[in-house]
Amino acid sequence: MAKTELKNRIRRLRFDHEEMTQQELANRAGVTRQTIIAIEGGKYAPSLMLAFRIARVFGLRVEEVFEYEGPEPDQGSGKKESAGGNVS
Amino acid sequence: MNRQQKLAWFNLVILVFSLLLSSTVVIWMAVVLKAGPIALSGFGLFAICLLHLLGPAVFPKKRKAGQVLFDERDAEIARRALSYGDVTSNVFFVSTFVCALLALGFEGSVRVASLGLIIGGAYFVSKVTESLTTLILYGRERTDGQD
């Protein structure tokens, strides 16, 4: 799979949490170790649910574990957004 | 190597072996026995490729306590492999009929036995593409040791 635009601190966090192994993290997050390797290496962007589960293992919020590195969303599309967030 | 990769390798080996075996028999019948169009019946041996369906029995799920064997990434790879296999078999199927139409014309005809070859070919292309896609998608990733 191609490199994702999602940066993460999982490797750092694992070492900060008593040098947790990839297998331990995988077991606690409910995925395979290969998936943890792929996420750490930036080769796989986890689903929102998995991102929340990984963050919960470390006792952190999602944005403290993952960081989006892609381009900013286009805000000059010319369409107005309503206060409720609905785009007409 | 996880179970999905082992299954993909197993499928690939069985399928390629089946193709080589049936092709060898067809060539042998055509060249040595001079059997003519009957030689194509040798492709019936290709049916042994169905042995690849035994893959799940050959590689049973061995679950250790607390270990996950199949997760969302495996499902995503399986889904992509399946869709690539589906697309290539459709392309094979359509292109075969288009080629037959171009070669034989609107009034041409083909042997009924050749329909079996086309279906078998589409199945082969589908499964080989599926296996190769699985191996490529897993293989691209780093294989770090445990740390």
The CA distance from B116 to B112, in Å, is 7
Show the domains of chain A with their CATH numbers: 6-68 (1.10.260.40)
* Residue A68 predicted with pLDDT over 80: yes
Q: Which residues of chain B have pLDDT under 70?
A: 140-147
Q: B55 CA to chain A: closest CA distance, Å?
A: 21
pLDDT tens, residue by residue, B88-128: 999 999 999 999 999 999 888 888 878 888 888 999 999 99
Quote the crossing angle between the two packed helices B112-139 and B72-104, to the nearest 10°: 150
Cα dihedral: A60, A29, B71, A14 (round 10) = 80
pLDDT of res. A78: 52
Task: Tell me which amino acid residue A19 is.
Answer: E
Judged against a pLDDT cut of 60, whether residue A87 lies above it is answered with: no
pLDDT, position A83: 42
C-alpha distance from B94 to closest chain A C-alpha (Å): 29
Position B140 scores a pLDDT of 60
DSSP B12-56: HHHHHHHHHHHHHHHHHHHHTS--GGGGGGGGGGGGGGGGGGGHH
Which residues in chain B are closer than 8 Å to A33, comparing Cβ atoms? Answer: 146
pLDDT at res. A82: 43
Residue B141's pLDDT is what?
A: 55
Question: How far is B50 from B15, CA to CA, in rounded Å?
Answer: 8
Residue from A20, A3, A2 nearest A11 by CA: A20
How large is the average pLDDT for residues A25-42? 92
Neighbouring C-beta atoms of residue A83, cutoff 10 Å? 5
Name the more confident of A68 and B142: A68
Q: How many residues does chain A have?
A: 88
Strand partners, A7: A67
Q: List CB contacts (< 8 A) between A37 and chain B.
A: 141-144
